[in-house]
């Protein structure tokens, strides 16, 4: 499931609430959060994991921030592969949060 929208629209807040609802129902949830890249390190600038504190502590949830590294379109070059890895790892639901559009 992909979620997109402008910065500050509440994507991370929605994902945390929705993810907690799913884990309470015994689903394993993976969140692939695409963030802007740091010009210094090239890594994720925002780190959405810090905005999903409850979900990040849930044993049935996995949150992976990924930097865009200049890729346009809201996702990274490796988002498709990351989705496949999460599915192969036994996650029931994979949520992809695009970088703010």
% of the chain residues with pLDDT over 90 = 43
**What is the mean predicted confidence (pLDDT) over 31-49?**
57
Q: How confident is the model at residue 44 (pLDDT cuts 50, 70, 90)?
A: very low
Residues 6+ apart with CB under 8 A from 81: none
Q: Is this structure's pTM higher than 0.85?
A: no
pLDDT value of position 38: 43
- Between 42 and 93, the more confident residue is 93
Go through the domains of the chain in sequence order and give each one's CATH number. Answer: 2-98 (3.40.50.300)
Beta bridge pairs of residue 31: 63, 95
Judge whether 76 and 69 are in contact, CB under 8 Å: yes
């Amino acid at each position: 499931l992909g979620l997109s929208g402008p910065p500050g629209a509440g994507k991370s807040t929605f994902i945390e609430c929705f993810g907690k609802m799913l884990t309470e129902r015994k689903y394993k949830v993976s969140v692939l959060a695409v963030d802007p890249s740091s010009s210094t390190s090239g890594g994720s600038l925002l780190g959405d994991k810090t905005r999903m504190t409850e979900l990040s502590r849930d044993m049935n949830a996995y949150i992976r921030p990924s930097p865009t590294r200049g890729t346009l379109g809201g996702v990274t070059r490796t988002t498709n592969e990351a989705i496949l890895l999460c599915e192969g790892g036994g996650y029931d639901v994979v949520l992809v949060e695009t970088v703010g559009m």
